[in-house]
């Protein structure tokens, strides 16, 4: 009997040990996410000139994630608490209070990263005046400037191969759109990703020269992030000549 029970006991111990290890990893990730969120929220407070505008601009996006939380029935209560934060004048107090209220969202992000990112990606692509090109790619047309701006939605959890495939699908769809729309003269790609790694502008989207935006240019484009952003520009003709399929398969 003992010979039978011992392996089961050992198995249970290993499973329990694994669960504790996974919990420890999640807790560390949560601590890191909380700290990074505090920094981002503090930057938002500074760039928006206080708490009121932060809440007004960020609440619609937070609402997207709150609506799918396990306790989504409390969304109105949580929203009310966030709206009350508009009157907090002290930056540290504001950051601390908002993080406390949004902790369930941050826990959801850490515990279910793929699902969290997908929700955010869909919300981004469905934004006002956004045109879906693929799972990860969308664009906006500026008819006055006769340009189309390409944007890459959050896709870090998809993996390189799947992201490349989706980018290719989006670029091919855009090329078909441009065949029918001769009003567009330039294609623009702007991203913080290109600021960190300009080479990705060529590798992912085919833009040969990515340049770093100045703070004045970021302000003109309503980019309030303190991150470095990069921009690539290509003529309509050059875009349509690009061999997207062969380039992105490499």
pLDDT above 60: residue 3: no
The pTM assigned to this predicted structure is 0.72
> Distances from the Cα of 164 to the Cαs of 158, 172, 173, 214, 221, in angstroms?
10, 12, 14, 29, 27
User: Across the chain, where does the E strand assignment appear?
Assistant: 131-132, 137-142, 147-152, 186-191, 210-212, 230-235
pLDDT above 60: residue 67: yes
Per-residue tokens: 98: 């908002």
Could you give the CA distance from residue 158 to residue 48 in angstroms, rounded to a whole number?
32
Residue 48's SS3 state is coil
Could you give the CA distance from residue 241 to residue 45 in angstroms, rounded to a whole number?
44
* Mean pLDDT value of segment 158-170: 89
Q: Which residue has the tokens 């809440």?
A: 55
pLDDT above 80: residue 167: yes
pLDDT value of residue 10: 53
DSSP character string of 150-189? EEEPP-TTT-HHHHHHHHHHHHHHHHHHHHH-TT--EEEE
* Average pLDDT value for the chain: 83
Chain segment 124-160, per-residue pLDDT in tens = 898 888 999 999 999 999 999 999 999 888 888 998 8
* Mean pLDDT value of segment 105-117: 90
- φ/ψ of 150, rounded to 5, equals -95, 140
Instruction: Give the contacts of 160 (CB within 8 A, at least 6 positions apart).
Output: none
pLDDT value of residue 248: 46
Chain segment 186-203, per-residue pLDDT in tens = 999 888 878 888 887 777
């Amino acid at each position: 009997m003992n010979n039978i029970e011992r392996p089961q006991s050992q198995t249970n111990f290993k499973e329990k040990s694994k669960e504790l290890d996974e919990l420890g990893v999640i807790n560390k990730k949560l601590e890191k996410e909380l700290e990074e969120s505090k920094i981002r929220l503090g930057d938002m407070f500074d760039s928006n000139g206080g708490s009121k505008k932060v809440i007004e601009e960020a609440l619609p996006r937070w609402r997207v994630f709150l609506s799918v939380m396990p306790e989504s029935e409390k969304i109105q209560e949580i929203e009310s608490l966030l709206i009350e934060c508009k009157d907090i004048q002290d930056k540290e107090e504001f950051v601390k209070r908002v993080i406390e209220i949004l902790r369930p969202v941050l826990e959801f992000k850490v515990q279910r990263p793929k699902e969290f990112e997908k929700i955010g990606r869909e919300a981004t692509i469905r934004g006002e005046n956004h045109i879906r090109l693929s799972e990860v790619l969308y664009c906006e047309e500026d008819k006055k400037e006769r340009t189309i701006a390409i944007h890459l939605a959050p896709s870090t959890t998809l993996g390189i191969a799947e992201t490349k495939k989706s980018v290719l699908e989006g670029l091919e769809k855009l090329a078909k759109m441009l065949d029918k729309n001769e009003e567009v003269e330039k294609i623009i790609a702007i991203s913080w990703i290109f600021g960190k790694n300009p080479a990705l502008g060529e590798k992912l989207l085919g833009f040969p020269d990515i340049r770093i935006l100045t703070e004045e240019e970021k302000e003109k484009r309503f980019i309030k992030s303190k991150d470095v952003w990069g921009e690539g520009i290509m003529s309509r003709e050059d875009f349509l000549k690009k061999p997207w399929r062969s380039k992105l398969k490499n």
